[in-house]
Structure 1
Amino acid sequence: MSAENTLPDSLTELLRSTGAALRVFDMGRRISKLPLERFRRIEDSQLPYPTPFQHQAWLALLIWNPKKRDENAVWFLRLPLDEQGLIAPAARDDLLKRLIQNVINSQNGQLDEDALKDNPYSFTPEQSRMAAFHALAAREMKSPASAHYERAQAWFKGQLPLEQWQSLAYQGLADFIVRLDQENNAAALCQRLPEMPAAVLETLCPLLENTQPAGALQQALLDLLQPALDADNSNRVAALCRALSNIADESAKQRWVLSVLESPHARQPEVITVIATRCESALLEPKVLSAFLEQLAHGEAGQTGFSRILAELMFMPVHRALILQAFRNPERSSALSQAIGEMFGQTFEAPPRH
């Protein structure tokens, strides 16, 4: 690795040169597997990062020895993106140099967690997301679930009293959610949902955003959403929005997002932020986007929230084009017009129609 012309020019090439196997996960808006071939093209700046978050690519690289699958390491990396959503080549090259140097300097010469020592591109996920990642990674590696899984499963299946929910470990809940398609777990969850304590439901919902709830579970969650919209509990609404955010049926997603946007809850920062960061695909529908922009302009998050949330959405090219088009709507409210002016300066003029 010492000769300049033999240095790997990408993370995948670096790992391939050591014989390590690799799986890549997106850790930004939600946790999901990123196909290796797509990641290679993203690394080479041939494709924009599909789900940018805070103008960065948030990644988890699961690395292991193919001959010893239990010998694995995880790198959590965040890389800046340019205006086109491409990984900045200078940052990628700097990361590679740091990794290679740390491997050279290490005692064992391995690509383990120590290779990220003092690395400005590394990050540590918060505890709940770490649990969700470990659950997904264990399943991907065909490893057993944690020791907490069986107790969580027993509680969901009614084999433990409802009031024993406080004895459940978060890792056990994460393992259960990532295995909803096994051992009738999804059916057990559907049966438990109506009687589930609020604390458990609001803990489960961020885990559910990393899955695609099937039809029965989707309906069970929707059955909880309407009563939440009728009640004075925006935290519950925000939680259910996260749980439903990754459903595959886009028209159904647009309908329930619109119902949330037509409620007073949409003016609460926790609700409008979830819609912006987890349900962004629903905003591709102009009617939904229009309702979103109006609630954002009138919302409790104020001008700061309006500007920050839109700056995040407008980093994605398709959303940017649709938002700029919506800004031209002559029927927009004076509050929205004022918020747009504050964000871009009073001299802002939307581009003319083509």
Structure 2
Amino acid sequence: MADLHLCASADKMAARPTASRVNTMPANTETALPDSITELLRTSGAALRVFDMGRRISKLSQDQFRRIEDSQLAYPTPFQHLAWLALLIWNPKRKQENAVWFLRLPLDEQGLIAPAARDDLLNRLIQNVINSKNGQLDEDALKDNPYSFTPEQSRMAAFHALAAREMQSPASPHYERTQAWFSAQLPLDAWQTLAYQGLADFIMRLDQDGNAQALRHRLPEMPAAVLETLCPLLEHVKPGPALQAELEQQLQQSLTGTDSNRVAALCRALSNITDEAAKQHLVLDVLATPHALEPEVVTVIATRCDSALMAPKVLQVFLERLAEGKAGQIGFSRILAELMFMPVHRALILQAFRNPERSECLSQAIGEMFGQSFATPTDTH
């Protein structure tokens, strides 16, 4: 992948709420302790929005979050057997004074939040309130907390851009220049002066200011470094039909070349399209090429285009290519272990494993993963 020299943005959202942003809890803390994070924040007077930070960034309703908290609803997109969450918290009277908690919580074999971890996190937060000077969620609410994490740069930028839009706040100062470049008001070679946060703001506002059309027109001439940086941002949005068509054309052209990084990037850009039949067709096209033997390509299909694998015909081809691929046995086992953590995918994969027409290569890979007895043709379980 070509080196990218986009300017880094200094804009960051606060990592934790400060004492001035969240009101005090009731005085009878000892007898009325909150039984959930939702209740803790409600009691403190804070407003809340919740985002799934797993396979892609998306909004969760407060009802979904509460049910996930209570282990009544499986986490929808587990990643590395964890629930990845962002809690955007603010004082309703001062919406611009917001803060974010980034939390990751272990899941059980059913994809439910592990109750012990949930209770431990809640107890740590409550203890923080009790120990604070004013009975508030202070700036150290998540300090040294084993359940907190810091998203990597692209995720942080995407989240920052999405949260600003959700709060009806202005985009970052880098947005205007990014718009100017995409609309060809700046020369093509000015891409190195763009800030990553500006790109994130642009993608999260594709439906505004003619941005989708500007992106579509810029795609055919876009430098590889910009495209491969832009695609991970595109996976968080749903492109409209015209933009989807242009991205599909770029992917088809890339499939005839040798750049597998570009193929993987474009798969990410198209992974959130609403047309599942089109997504399945695209995945099959990719699997029919040598690019499907590359670890970065099959990993993107497994982690971003996983809904396409719910079609048995797509899944069977995927498993065959994965078994043949350069990821080897370790890659085969790790990728499938991640996919099989989702109950529907697990059932479909186990069914595909028992397909009597599977290749010897796939049978051998299954045997290495689960034991030879599972992979024998006579297995009828």
Same fold (TM over 0.5): yes
Would you say 1:246 and 2:272 are equivalent positions? yes
Match of 1:160 among 153, 176, 186: 186
After superposing the two structures, state which structure 1 stretch, 249-258 or 112-121, moved more. 112-121
Task: Describe the SS at the equivalent of 2:372.
Answer: coil
| Residues 1:275 and 1:177: Cα distance change in structure 2 (over 3 Å) | same
Q: Distance in 1 between matches of 2:133 and 2:273?
A: 47
Would you say 1:174 and 2:171 are equivalent positions? no
Q: Which runs of 4+ in 1 moved over 4 A?
A: 1-5
Match of 1:118 among 130, 139, 144: 144
Superposed, which structure 2 residues align to 1:271-350 within 5 Å? 271-348=297-374
Task: Describe the SS at the equivalent of 1:63.
Answer: strand
Match of 1:215 among 238, 241, 248: 241
Q: Distance in 2 between matches of 1:106 and 1:339?
A: 55
Q: Tell me the matched-pair count.
A: 353
Q: Which residue of 2 aligns with 1:352?
A: 380
Q: Which residue of 2 aligns with 1:50?
A: 76
Q: Distance in 2 between matches of 1:103 and 1:309?
A: 41
Would you say 1:29 and 2:58 are equivalent positions? no
Superposed, which structure 2 residues align to 1:182-197 within 5 Å? 182-197=208-223
Match of 2:285 among 259, 283, 290: 259
Q: CA deviation at 1:33?
A: 0.7
Contact 1:75 1:113 in 2 (8 A): no
Q: CA deviation at 1:105?
A: 2.2
After superposing the two structures, state which structure 1 stretch, 342-351 or 209-218, moved more. 342-351
Q: Distance in 2 between matches of 1:252 and 1:313?
A: 21
Q: CA deviation at 1:106?
A: 2.9
Q: CA deviation at 1:5?
A: 4.2
Contact 1:73 1:113 in 2 (8 A): no
**Structure 1 spans left out of the alignment, 5+ residues:** none
Deviations 1:181-208 (A, max 9, x none): 0011100000000000000000000000
Q: CA deviation at 1:113?
A: 4.7
Q: Distance in 1 between matches of 2:184 and 2:191?
A: 11
Q: CA deviation at 1:102?
A: 1.6
Q: Name the amino acid aligned to 1:262.
A: A
| Residues 1:349 and 1:162: Cα distance change in structure 2 (over 3 Å) | closer
Q: CA deviation at 1:101?
A: 1.2
Q: Name the amino acid aligned to 1:64.
A: W
Contact 2:260 2:291 in 1 (8 A): yes
Contact 1:74 1:112 in 2 (8 A): no
Q: CA deviation at 1:147?
A: 0.4
Deviations 1:11-58 (A, max 9, x none): 101100011000000111001111111111111111100110011100
Identity %: 78
Contact 2:50 2:86 in 1 (8 A): yes
Task: Describe the SS at the equivalent of 2:373.
Answer: coil
Q: Which residue of 2 aligns with 1:97?
A: 123
Q: Distance in 2 between matches of 1:329 and 1:310?
A: 16
| Residues 1:115 and 1:2: Cα distance change in structure 2 (over 3 Å) | farther
Tell me: higher relative CO, structure 1 or 2? Use CA pairs within 8 A at least 6 residues apart: 2
Task: Describe the SS at the equivalent of 2:374.
Answer: coil
Match of 1:65 among 66, 86, 91: 91
Contact 1:73 1:112 in 2 (8 A): no
Q: Distance in 2 between matches of 1:235 and 1:285?
A: 25
Task: Describe the SS at the equivalent of 1:116.
Answer: coil
- TM-score of the aligned structures, taking structure 2 as reference length: 0.90
| Residues 1:108 and 1:173: Cα distance change in structure 2 (over 3 Å) | farther
Q: Distance in 2 between matches of 1:113 and 1:190?
A: 43
